[in-house]
Amino acid sequence: MQSENHKKTIYAAILGAGTVGTGVYKLCQEMKSEFVQKTGADLVVKKVLVRNASKKREGIEDAVLTDNWKEIIEDPEIDIVIEVMGGIEPAKTYIIEALEAGKQIVTANKDLLAEHGQEVMAAAEKAGADLEFEAAVAGAIPIIRPLKQSMAGNRISEVMGIVNGTTNYILTKMSEKGMDYAEALAQATELGYAEADPTADVEGYDAGRKMAIMASIAFNSRVTFPQVYTEGITKISADDIRYAKEFGYVIKLLGLARNTPEGIEVKVHPMLIDENHPLAGVKDAFNAVFVHADAMDDAMFMGRGAGQMPTASAVMGDVVDVMRNLVYNCCGRVGCSCYKQLPVKQIGETKSKFFLRIHAQDKPGVLANIASVLGNNGVSIAQVVQKSRKGGIAELVIITDEVQENNFNDAMTIFSGMSVVKEISGVIRVY
């Protein structure tokens, strides 16, 4: 039964008319009658905020464009603010002002949530309003709602996967087409996958923000972006990709978050994955997230992680949810204020397996010397292959067992001071 004050028309404003905003506007028009069927209310986009309102926007009526925030915040008819402009400010101020003015929020802004999530969520809770952000993590893939709601009967211990479409696209093209890095990045930008500043993608910051958001929800604690260790793909060379293939691996930028008895581990870095692992088949701008939890066991979510319509799909899922809440007068049901703050580990305290290439003098005793440096620092060798012997230099490929990262780094520091070790390269963690 719908309540007495059942709303027939729900007005929304979209902040931003770029890649995602244009897709959201399009779905609001194309799916109009379906939204009425699904919610019982008609959705009308009353305003679209941009920096330059006189610029023509394909597919968006000129009449709704504005560059004046006051036209939205001071309009009592507007119930839902859909923030898809990105960045911290003015997005944060606009969201908080909108909540204070009694509006509901849908946002795709991981930069904001990963750094100031606590503040904006507290504002939503105070206002008794919805703040939904499915599109902020892994594009079209439903993962926020499953973590918050569908898996609420579990203790989640691990969330990991490929959570950046741009870098997955670049690595796929480099590995499968031999494309160079710059060309693959230019294509990802052209396709609308990259952030306004693609440094966020290629340096692993975007994935780090998504991991902070997921770790916070999954472990019911607070992890902010600065607590996430991030390493991007800018140092991955064609040689690294060639060696990976030769040893039966593919390189992926992975995010890992684990809840351990000593604290939360959360990190993003390139990793070698066995070519037969399900994540190895996740290509182009697709993302995939694995979740391990006590009652549910394992679940995997896969889909398009970036791009106009996949992201707009996730945004509109939230908008429809908020519309239903408005229709039934039940906004603000899913809050975030009850959590237990857990410590977050430093990267050096976490464990990894490593793949590395060592060029060293090709003479008796050197291999034993290298093995003893590793052994003395608690690094055991799972596999060692002598790749070549040329001009008095031997090239060794070593794969270690799992080791505390601090120990591995200590061994690397010792190698850098040994005259028999000429070069260490291609150091990549192994999943």
Ligand X SMILES: NC(=O)C1=CN([C@@H]2O[C@H](COP(=O)(O)OP(=O)(O)OC[C@H]3O[C@@H](n4cnc5c(N)ncnc54)[C@H](OP(=O)(O)O)[C@@H]3O)[C@@H](O)[C@H]2O)C=CC1
Ligand Y SMILES: N[C@@H](CC=O)C(=O)O
Of 38-46, 158-166, 224-232, 384-392, the segment contacting ligand Y by CB under 6 A is 158-166
- Residue from 123, 306, 403, 412 in contact with ligand Y (CB under 6 A): 306
- Residue from 39, 175, 311, 352 in contact with ligand X (CB under 6 A): 311
Residues that bind ligand X (rule: CB under 6 A) add up to a total of: 26
* Shortest CB 140 distance to ligand Y, Å: 10
How far apart are the C-alpha atoms of 127 and 117, rounded to whole Å? 15
β-bridge mates for residue 47, sequence order: 13
Query: 352 in helix, strand or coil?
Result: strand
202 contributes a contact to ligand Y by CB under 6 A: no
* Shortest CB 61 distance to ligand X, Å: 15
Closer of 196 and 238 to ligand X (Cβ): 196
Instruction: Write the single-letter amino acid at 192.
Output: G
User: Which partner, ligand X, ligand Y, none, binds residue 164 by CB below 5 to 8 Å per kind?
Assistant: ligand Y
Q: Are 35 and 10 in contact (CB under 8 A)?
A: no
User: Which partner, ligand X, ligand Y, none, binds residue 17 by CB below 5 to 8 Å per kind?
Assistant: ligand X
Upstream peptide bond of 364 is cis (omega within 30 degrees of 0): no
273 Cα distance to chain centroid: 18
* Shortest CB 287 distance to ligand Y, Å: 7
User: Which partner, ligand Y, ligand X, none, binds residue 192 by CB below 5 to 8 Å per kind?
Assistant: ligand X
Closer of 42 and 115 to ligand Y (Cβ): 115
User: Which residue number is nearest to ligand Y in terms of Cβ?
Assistant: 166
Instruction: Copy the structure tokens of residue 237.
Output: 């060379």
Instruction: Write the single-letter amino acid at 315.
Output: V
175 contributes a contact to ligand Y by CB under 6 A: no
Long-range residue pairs from 410-418, CB within 8 A, at least 24 positions apart, any chain: 410/377, 411/373, 411/374, 411/376, 411/377, 411/379, 414/373, 414/377, 415/358, 415/370, 415/373, 418/369, 418/373
Residues that bind ligand Y (rule: CB under 6 A) add up to a total of: 11
* Shortest CB 102 distance to ligand Y, Å: 29
Cα torsion through 179, 182, 185, 191, rounded to 10: -80
How far apart are the C-alpha atoms of 318 and 105, rounded to whole Å? 9
Of 63-71, 159-167, 252-260, 398-406, the segment contacting ligand Y by CB under 6 A is 159-167
* Shortest CB 366 distance to ligand Y, Å: 43
How far apart are the C-alpha atoms of 230 and 163, rounded to whole Å? 13
How far apart are the C-alpha atoms of 129 and 137, rounded to whole Å? 21
How far apart are the C-alpha atoms of 389 and 18, rounded to whole Å? 54
* Shortest CB 208 distance to ligand X, Å: 13
User: Which partner, ligand Y, ligand X, none, binds residue 255 by CB below 5 to 8 Å per kind?
Assistant: none
Q: Which residues bind ligand Y (CB under 6 A)?
A: 139, 164-166, 193-195, 201, 206, 305-306
Q: Which residues bind ligand X (CB under 6 A)?
A: 16-21, 49-52, 84-86, 90, 108-110, 135, 139, 192-193, 195-196, 306-307, 311
